[in-house]
Structure 1
């Protein structure tokens, strides 16, 4: 006999949830897992088998205590948030799962809700988190300040997370595998050469360095292999600009002392934020 999503009624396990959902114009019901299609904007790339098994055992014992979010689509549903719960419930042998059905969502609203729900509830790795923030910037035209408000974090947390995406893909994989932390990775942003960044990232991971040791390693490399275009003071200024603007910055100089400053951005809202900081118009605080 197939298991049901919950051994008891939804109201018994989630007091007030049904009433709250009805009050907000949402429907709370148990739906067939087979009728759910994946969320195309799911920020999670990898699902840890051990973590899924642990969640599956918890569901077997206690049921699914937190409903997933879906929207009605064609003859079934499209998942908005809760893919780990769906997978774990399937592993536990469940055919149905409690779901809140969101009505009348636009594509943009669905994307925003899916990403924010995952950022708030799911244990994303640092690169998945950064990519989710980037999607919110690009797909939903949200500023870093708006994202921070929605997920309950400081803007600097969002900005520092996005900076990880300026590192080479090989280093991003090292971060995702938890061989180095985001704090280790951010020390590498002070190096302009991607090859040097990767070499030091691998060294940090292999030697299990502390963040302080990683900082010293990067400073040593900068002193040994400083770009002939930049003086030590210019490289320090470049690093300070990156911290202040929370974006990738590169200073280029020629032998005559002339040059240019490159500031990287990901979207029009990000450009407006940077312009606001530079012009001190207040737009940078949006």
Structure 2
């Protein structure tokens, strides 16, 4: 049963898309299956539009749809119908259509899974809200909707944030606001794009998790990251084991001391725990030098991109 906290979280995640595309609740209105006489209603009420008159979104950032989940959704739609309308926009009719036969055509903006599942379920129409929007707004709405989903893999999310940054010049703070995420989370996803392509493929294929990837990013060179990733996958390391392994590669002297039980460990465990937390949060090498409650925090970065991300996370816009 959904809890109050889960309902609050869903509302928060929906803020970004609602700001781009206000929703209205109304009963679906049938539209003729062939002729263009029934134009989209200005009030935004759902229309029953033939599935064959709707084209896929060419700006869809999502590349993979789980077939088992799609089949499950199709069964649900076959039994109870589509609960939430999809969103489309009208597009010009095909020039190849014969005279007098010009059915309205539409292009998907959001709801591709529901559209695909409806076809699998054998439906002929689908409730749709029609919007008049420009290409740029379609792209932004598509990306924001995808980022609000929970089943995107980390690399899909990273590339979606990259598109918002490059094509719409949004800051990390603005992207966080649009998608209902924390700014630190946006920064961490963007940092995944620094991974070598072979390692990105392992993350996309679920061989490595988001936590594994963040730990590997503490290494400086692409060669070191690739080599470490291969070992992590081969030995089925947990995220914690990966963090320890990476820190051993970065600071082999500390690892050697740790491996010698006869040597007393002089480092305060509280300081060590604070270092570990900062490393996991920032994805960078961190050293705390503490002497009786006074000292300094040293954060190492390997490039200007890391430095800019660090400034963003510290609140410097």
Paired residue total: 232
* 1:17-36 matched pairs, under 5 angstroms: 17-18=25-26, 25-36=43-54
Q: Distance in 1 between matches of 2:194 and 2:227?
A: 16
Separation (CA, whole Å) in 2 of partners of 1:199 and 1:26: 54
1:13-64 deviation digits (Å, cap 9, x = unpaired): xxx7128xx9994242111111222212212111121121111112112211
Q: Is contact 2:25–2:45 with CA below 8 Å preserved after alignment?
A: no
Runs (4+) off by over 6 Å: none
Unaligned 5+ segments in structure 2 are 1-23, 28-39, 94-104, 254-278, 287-299
**Is 1:98 paired with 2:127?**
yes
Partner of 2:30: none
CA distance, structure 2, for counterparts of residue 167 and residue 219 of structure 1:
17
Which position in structure 1 is the counterpart of 2:138?
A: 110
**Alpha-carbon spacing, 1:145–1:106, altered in 2? closer, same or farther (3 Å):** same
Asked if residue 264 in structure 1 is aligned to residue 305 in structure 2, the reply is yes
After TM superposition, list the pairs within 5 Å mapping 1:69-108 onto structure 2: 69-75=87-93, 76-103=105-132, 105-108=133-136
Between the aligned partners of 2:119 and 2:224, the Cα distance in structure 1 is: 45
Once residues 209 and 225 of structure 2 are traced to their aligned partners in structure 1, the CA distance between those partners, rounded to angstroms, is: 14
Q: Pick one of 161, 174, 185 that aligns with 1:133.
A: 161
* Unmatched tracts of structure 1, length 5 or more: 1-15, 226-235, 242-247, 251-261, 266-270
Alignment of 1:1-286 (within 5 A): 17-18=25-26, 25-75=43-93, 76-103=105-132, 105-121=133-149, 123-223=151-251, 239=284, 249-250=301-302, 262-264=303-305, 274=308, 277=311, 284=317
Tell me the CA shift for residue 207 of structure 1.
2.7
Q: What displacement does 1:203 show?
A: 2.4
Bigger share in helix: 1
Query: Measured at CA, do residues 24 and 209 of structure 1 come closer, stay the same or move farther in structure 2, by a change above 3 Å?
Result: farther
Q: 1:64, 1:97 within 8 Å by CA — same for their partners in 2?
A: yes
Q: Is the 8 A contact 1:42 1:114 kept in 2?
A: yes
Q: Which has the larger radius of gyration?
A: 2
State the TM-score, normalizing by the size of structure 2.
0.65
